[in-house]
Structure 1
Amino acid sequence: MKLVFSIDVEEEGLFTGEYSREPPGVENIRGLDRLEFVSKEFGFPLTLLVSYRVARDACARKVLLDWKDLRGAEIGAHLHHWSTPPFDKLPYPEPVPADLLPPALLRAKLENLLDALKTNLGVTARSFRMGRFDIGTQVPKLLPELGLLTDSSIVPLRRTAGGPDHFMAPCEPYRLEGSDGRTPSVLEVPLTMIPLFPRTRNAVYRQSSFLPPRVRDFLLTAYRHAAVVGVHPAWFSLSAMKLAANLHRARGGCVLCMFLHSSEVHPGATPKFRTESDVRRLVDKIRAFLAWLVRTGPVRGMTLEDLRAFF
C-alpha cells in the first residue's frame, strides 16, 4: 500500500461562507510543525499544496522551505481562484465556479500561482489541487500545458449542487482525459473515499438520475454521510479511517490519499477545531492511524509527484 498525505496549505478566513480577495493572514502555517512526527517517526513525506497568499508570505516561506529541505516534503500548487490575481468583475458571487471563469482569466490565475511558487520558494510545481475541489472541465486541459502532471482535486462519491459530479469517480489513481496528444496526460489521484457496499453506489446513483435536482442532491449527500468512509482525519473517526483502509486493501486498492487543511492544525482557524484540545485530538488521531497503518502494513509513504512514476 502506498500512502499520500496531502495538505492544502492556505490562508485564514475560510469556512465562514466568505471568500475575500484579501484574506486576513496565514498564521496557521506555523501549526504544520505539529505534524513533524509524520516524517520524523514514520518516514512519510508530506505533499504541501500551497495557495498564492501563502507563497507570498515571508514567514510562511521559511516554514515551507524547512519542510521541503529538511523533511522531504513536496511543494505543489493549490489554486484559490477567488484570492489569486488577476481579478475581473463577473456577474456571479464568489467563489465563482471554475467553469464560469473566462478561460484567459483562469489561465492567468494559474500562471500567477505558479510564478509565486517559483519566485518565492524556488519550486516548479508538478502537483495540483483546485480550491473547493472545483476542478470542472477547463482546469484539466490547462494543467499539462503549465507543467502540472499530477492532480488530486477529485473526491469520489461526492456531487456538489451546481458543481462537479464525481460520485462515480474511481477510488484509485487514473489518467485524466483531455490530452491534446502533444502534452503528457495528467495522473489523477483522488481522495480515498470508500463505499461500504459498492453495489449500492451504482444503484443509488442510477436511481437518483430520475429525481428532481434538489432531491437528487439530497439523496446523494445523505448516501455519502451514511454509507461512505475515508481516511481523512478532519472528516472521519479513527475507526472509520481504519475501516476505509481495510476495505480498500481488501478490494485490491494500492493507494491511500489522505487529506487535511493546514488551518485545521491551528486552534481557532476553523469552526470545527476551535481550541487547543480540539487540535490535539486531531493530531493524536493522525498519529494513531499512521501507527496502526504501519503495524498492519506494509505501507510506503510517497508524495504526489513520486506516485506518478508508478502509474
Structure 2
Amino acid sequence: MAVSTSSAAGAPGYRVPPPAAADLVAWPESFGTRFTVLVDTEEEFDWDAPLDRDSHGVSAITALPEAHRHFVDRGVPLTYMVDYPIATDPQAIDILRAATADGVSAIGTQLHAWVNPPFDEALTPVNSFAGNLPESLEAAKLDALTAAITSAFGVAPRAYRAGRYGIGPATLGLLAARGYRLDSSMRPAYEYLAEGGPDFGAIGAGAFRAGPGGAIIELPLTIVFTGLARRGGVGLYRALGTIPKGKGIFARAHLLSRVALTPEEMPLADALEAIAVALGEGLRLLNFSFHSPSLAPGHTPYVRDAADLAAFHHWWDRVLADLERRGVAPASLDTIIAAAGERTNASP
C-alpha cells in the first residue's frame, strides 16, 4: 500500500486501496483459528453533540476492572486502545496498570484528534479524522500520545487505532517510523465520505501487511455480510442504500445484512450468524471491539441503562461460549504480532 510523504493535508474522503494478494497474512498452522478483543479506551462525551475539546470526562473507567475480570476469567486477554484523556488521567492509569498486570492484556494507542494536543487545527468534522490533517500535525499528535502512554505504562505501544477510523494516506508510514507493528483503523465495508472521512469499501476482513516495506500488520475490524445475497457484498449493500428502506427490507428478509463483531448495536443472533459465516469462509482471526464507556450506563448510545448493560454482558457470555464451542481460541496482541511475523504458505 502506497504511503504519502507530503506535508500537506490529506484530501478528505481518502479511499483506502485494497491489499495485494501477496500482502495477505498467511497464518501458520500452529496459530489455528483465533479471536481478539480490542477496546476503544476513551473519554465519555455526548455522542449527539458536536465534538469539542473540553466537554468530556473519564468516570466510566471505574467500571473497567469488573469487566476486565469478566474476560480474563474466561482466558480472554484484552488490548486497550488508549487515547489522550485516558493516558493522562492518574486514576485511569492506575486502573489500566492493574488490568494489564495479568501478563497477557496490553496497551495500544487510539488517537482522538480533537482532544489530543497539539491543537493547531480548526475544530471541524473533517479535522476529527486525524488522517485529514497535515502530515506534520498528525505526526505531532501521534508523538504526544505515544509519549504519554509510554510514560504512563513504562512501555512503548505497538498497536494503533485512529479515532473515528480516521486513517489517512500518511498514517501507516508515521506508525512504522515510530515502531508500531499493528494497525486496526480499517472498518471494512463502511465509509465516512459524507463527513470527509475514509472509505473502506475495498478492504476485506483478512489481515494484511501494509505501510512501507510491509512493516505494519493491518488487522481490520471483522465485518461480515450475512444472508442469502451476501455474495453481493459491499456493492449490493451500497446500491440498496440508494433505495428507500432497501437495506432494511433485505435485512428483514434475511437476504443481506452487514454485521460488525461488536455488542454495540449488533444483535446477538446476527453476531452468531456472522461468526459462523466468517469461519465458514476461512477467516483465521476474528477482531472484536467495543468502547470502554459502554461498561457504565449512560455514556454511549449502546448502553443507556442497567438493562442495556445486562444485555451487553449477556452478548459476550453467549459469543464467548460459541467461540469456545467452535474451538476458536483467544489471542493476545503479542501472539498476533509473533504469528503474523512468520511467513508461511498457510491459508489466511
State the TM-score, normalized to the length of structure 2: 0.79
Once the two structures are superposed, residues 120-164 of structure 1 have per-residue CA deviations (whole angstroms, 9 ceiling, x without a partner) of 121210001000011121211211011111011111111112321
Q: State the 1:292 CA deviation.
A: 1.9
Once the two structures are superposed, residues 44-67 of structure 1 have per-residue CA deviations (whole angstroms, 9 ceiling, x without a partner) of 100100001101111111110011
CA distance in 2, matches of 1:220, 1:99: 29
Structure 1 residue 309 and structure 2 residue 338: aligned? yes
Higher mean alpha-carbon deviation, 89-98 vs 192-201, is at 89-98
1:280: which partner in 2?
310
Contact kept in structure 2, 1:172 and 1:190, CA below 8 Å = yes
CA distance in 2, matches of 1:57, 1:5: 23
Aligned partner of 1:245 among 267, 275, 279: 275
Structure 1 residue 57 and structure 2 residue 97: aligned? no
Q: State the 1:270 CA deviation.
A: 1.4
1:78: which partner in 2?
110
Contact kept in structure 2, 1:159 and 1:221, CA below 8 Å = no
Taking the TM superposition and a 5 Å limit, the aligned residue runs for 1:40-51 are: 40-51=72-83
1:195: which partner in 2?
225
Q: State the 1:166 CA deviation.
A: 0.7
Contact kept in structure 1, 2:43 and 2:57, CA below 8 Å = yes
Alignment CA distance shift 1:230-1:89 (3 Å): closer
Taking the TM superposition and a 5 Å limit, the aligned residue runs for 1:198-209 are: 198-201=230-233, 203-204=235-236
- Cα-Cα RMSD: 2.6
CA distance in 1, matches of 2:192, 2:161: 17
Identity of aligned residues (%): 29
Contact kept in structure 1, 2:87 and 2:152, CA below 8 Å = yes
CA distance in 1, matches of 2:140, 2:250: 38
Structure 1 residue 298 and structure 2 residue 327: aligned? yes
1:264: which partner in 2?
294
Name the SS for the 1:147 alignment partner: coil
Alignment CA distance shift 1:39-1:271 (3 Å): closer
Name the SS for the 2:119 alignment partner: coil
Aligned partner of 1:153 among 153, 165, 185: 185
Contact kept in structure 2, 1:263 and 1:269, CA below 8 Å = yes
Q: State the 1:220 CA deviation.
A: 8.6
Contact kept in structure 2, 1:55 and 1:116, CA below 8 Å = yes
Runs of 4+ with deviation above 6 angstroms = 218-225
| Partner AA of 1:302 in structure 2 | A
State the TM-score, normalized to the length of structure 1: 0.88
Name the SS for the 2:290 alignment partner: strand
Name the SS for the 1:143 alignment partner: helix
Once the two structures are superposed, residues 160-200 of structure 1 have per-residue CA deviations (whole angstroms, 9 ceiling, x without a partner) of 12321112311111112x30x4xx61111111111124431
CA distance in 2, matches of 1:172, 1:271: 29
Contact kept in structure 1, 2:189 and 2:234, CA below 8 Å = no
| Partner AA of 1:192 in structure 2 | T
Q: State the 1:305 CA deviation.
A: 3.8
CA distance in 2, matches of 1:57, 1:219: 45
Higher mean alpha-carbon deviation, 32-41 vs 249-258, is at 32-41
| Partner AA of 1:146 in structure 2 | R
Identify unmatched segments of 5+ residues in structure 1: none
Name the SS for the 2:316 alignment partner: helix
Structure 1 residue 255 and structure 2 residue 275: aligned? no
Name the SS for the 1:269 alignment partner: coil
Contact kept in structure 2, 1:231 and 1:240, CA below 8 Å = no
Number of residue pairs the alignment of both structures matches: 300
Q: State the 1:227 CA deviation.
A: 1.9
Name the SS for the 2:107 alignment partner: strand
Aligned partner of 1:164 among 198, 208, 211: 198
CA distance in 2, matches of 1:246, 1:191: 16
Contact kept in structure 1, 2:100 and 2:106, CA below 8 Å = yes
Structure 1 residue 108 and structure 2 residue 140: aligned? yes
Contact kept in structure 2, 1:34 and 1:265, CA below 8 Å = no
Contact kept in structure 2, 1:229 and 1:243, CA below 8 Å = no
